[in-house]
Structure 1
Amino acid sequence: MTKARDDYLLDLEASRRGYAINRLCGSLKDPENRRRFSADEAAYCDAHGLSPEQKKAILERDWTAMLDLGGSIFYTFKLAVLDGRSMQDLGGVFTGMSSEEFTAAMRSGGRRFG
């Protein structure tokens, strides 16, 4: 797994780079697509034209790598939901905290910039 970061920028270049990941994850809003993905994840990745690195990130659920490869949290979260993961789970992954630590940090006002 890749190292936690907190400086993701989904700009035009990242959006283009992550198009296949975002298209795949966005397609999971449809129940039939979720069924097809769950039946054969690798084939579903291939059908969406993912690069080998993107496919590996999806299959291994390497959430940080998905963002590094241009994925948008708004799309990759659809995959997380399919896996029964919460936004707090992913927040923990991206900040290097547990879900519980991340939730506690948010409840106490979150990170302070200054």
Structure 2
Amino acid sequence: MTMPDIFGTTLFDGRMARRGYALNRMCYSFNAAENRAAFVQDEDGYCARYGLNAEQREAIRRRNVLALIAAGGNVYYLAKFAGIFGLDVQDLGAQQTGLSKDEFKARLLAAAG
């Protein structure tokens, strides 16, 4: 069975899970404060420790959520990465949609009402 294409959406399926395993594993490690500190101290070394590929490392350097998702990142794990920089899931959603955070929040409220 093939999944349908959804315009503007990167589907997180088994293939993407395998592609992003190292990236998601690294982001999961950020549950521990000492790992977040180690990442901040030496980002490239930390990425190398987890075996991120060049595409993933570049997306990390640029803090580009869409590129991280395209590289196999799962938004729930990426939220742990974003948290290091004081960002939350609404910040990630805003970046994904090209909106400001306030515009994104307003869109969420409008959809809920």
Calculate the TM-score normalised by the size of structure 1. Answer: 0.88
CA contact (8 A) 1:6 1:95 kept: no
| 1:84 and 2:86 aligned | yes
Higher RCO, 1 vs 2 (CA within 8 Å, ≥6 residues apart): 1
Matched, 1:56 2:58: yes
Shift of 1:91: 0.6
Shift in Å, 1:86: 1.8
Alignment of 1:38-49 (within 5 A): 38-49=40-51
Cα RMSD of the aligned pairs, angstroms, is: 1.2
Q: Distance in 1 between matches of 2:9 and 2:67?
A: 13
Scaled by the length of structure 2, the TM-score of the pair is 0.89
Residue number in structure 2 paired with 1:37: 39
1:97 alignment partner, one of 90, 96, 99? 99
Aligned length: 106
Task: Give a deviation string over 1:27-84, Cα, whole Å, max 9, x none.
Answer: 0001111111111001000111000110111121111000001100010110111110
Aligned-pair identity (%) = 41
